[in-house]
Structures are given as C-alpha cells and as structure tokens.
Amino acid sequence: MSSPAATGLARATLRIMEPPATVGAGPGGALAVVSLQFNPNKLALTKSTEWRRQPSRMASQSAMPEFVGSGPRSLSVEVFLDATATHDNSVEQNVERLMRACVPTPRSLSAKKPASPWVRFEWGTARTTSFNGVLGSLSVDYSLFDVDGKPLRATCSLTLEEASTAAAGQNPTSGSRAARRTHRVVAGDSLPQLAWHEYGDATAWRVIAEANDIDDPHVLVPGSELLVPGTVESEVDGER
C-alpha cells in the first residue's frame, strides 16, 4: 500500500451518510468521513446481470435468453489502519465508525424507518468505484497491540453494494429541480469536486452554487450544509 503523504497524491476516503428519508431519494448529510492512511493497492469491482430461459423439449439448441435486469455493483476493498507512530485510539475509533455503518442510524430509528447509513468510497477522479452503496460485509483483523491491549494495527475488509439507481458519473434523468439532498462540508471540499462526484461533471458546480448563493466555488466553510439539486441535466445542456 502506498502512503498518501506525497504532494499531489489523492487520498481515498470512505464517506458515511444518513440513509435517504424517502424511497428514491439520495443520501442525507455526512455522518463521518474516514480518511484512509494508506491508499488501497487493489480494488475488486463486480456487477451482474440476470437472464431467464424458457426450456423447450422441441428445441435443438438452448432457448434464447430473456434479459430480466441488471444487478448492483459490488466493491471489495481492504482498509489498513495503523497507530504505531502515535499509540493513540485512532485504530479502534475508525473501526467503530465502520461498525456504525452496519446498524440503523438514530434518525432512522426515531422516524420508525430503521436503516443503516449509506457509504461511498471516493478516490480522486475515479468514477466506476465511486457510487452510493450500503455496507454488505465487514471483517476486522487486529494484528498488533500495545502493552495495555490497545489495538495498534488492523486490516478491515469490506464490501459495498450499490444502493443508488442512477449510474455513477451520469446526470439524473428526472428533470426535476425538486429532488435534492444536503451535503455537509468537510475540510478540502470544493464545489467542482462535489459536482464531479454527484454528476460526473465538475463544470456543473454553478448549479450547486446557485442553489446556495455561493460566489467562490473553492471557499466552503467546514461543517456547513449545502443543498445539492437532484438533477443538472437541463442547466448543463443549456450551457453547452
């Protein structure tokens, strides 16, 4: 695994978000952001399709398959955590953040609609591996401990299963400005970056800026919430 400390090297993160409040909506605000100490050296991405065949006793060959549907993407990644330089609780704290992505959020429980958080793996400009999903599985292997038993090193193997209906990197096609979600700003965020992850087009930042009355797309206040319109198709097409 390579260290992200080098200048200009994009750091991979896991964004843990509030699940949608309604069916068909996007995820809510960010609950936590786990910045990876070391970028993965391998990602496993899978996607399936389902076909149906009607066998015929009279057919000399197999029946023509009928397309039933497309299955979700699945991303498997290993996250390496290490606190041997600091001897702090960061390893367990990050493991706890990942564990919380497997249980219903307090807000969903209070609304009597239990749902675990949505998770998004983000790494630079990668599009095929950046999608809204849920944590399908998580396993943690602790491999080094401090003298008091505190974990100092761990490898977390996790699988994300796609939860959104829109393909990553493409504009939603609803054509409605009414569909929107909120995004809580973290350090390093910019509107072009957010537009890239939401719409696959960094130039669409103007739509988000207009919805939030923002003049400078590169100056955002960490902790503030932005309204993210659910579609930019008409606006972006109109500028081209």
pLDDT digits (tens, 9 = 90+) for 107-146: 989 988 899 999 999 998 888 999 999 999 999 999 999 9
Q: What percent of the chain has pLDDT over 70?
A: 80
Q: In what order do the strands lie in the sheet with 30-35?
A: 30-35, 13-17, 118-122, 132-145, 151-162, 66-82, 43-52
- Rounded Cα distance, 185 and 220, in Å: 7
Query: If DSSP codes are grouped into helix, strand and coil, which group holds residue 71?
Result: strand
Residue ranges, comma separated, of all CATH 2.40.30 domains in the chain are 1-168
The answer to whether domain 1-168 has CATH 2.40.30 is: yes
Strand 43-52 versus strand 30-35 pairing type = unpaired
pLDDT band with cut points at 50, 70 and 90 for residue 192: confident
Higher pLDDT, residue 101 or 8: 101
Residue 239 pLDDT exceeds 80: no
Total-model pTM: 0.62
Residue ranges, comma separated, of all CATH 3.10.350.10 domains in the chain are 170-240
Residue 209 phi/psi, 5° resolution? Answer: -60, -40
72 residue type, one letter = P
- The CATH class for the domain spanning 170-240 reads alpha beta
What pLDDT is stored for residue 149 in this prediction?
95
pLDDT band with cut points at 50, 70 and 90 for residue 227: confident
pLDDT by residue (tens digit) across 62-108?
677 777 778 889 999 999 999 999 999 999 999 999 999 999 999 98
Strand 13-17 versus strand 118-122 pairing type = antiparallel
Query: Which of 21-25, 146-150, 202-206 comes out lowest in average pLDDT?
Result: 21-25
- Rounded Cα distance, 81 and 28, in Å: 27
What pLDDT is stored for residue 3 in this prediction?
46
Residue among 132, 226, 215 at smallest CA distance from 186: 226
What pLDDT is stored for residue 191 in this prediction?
85
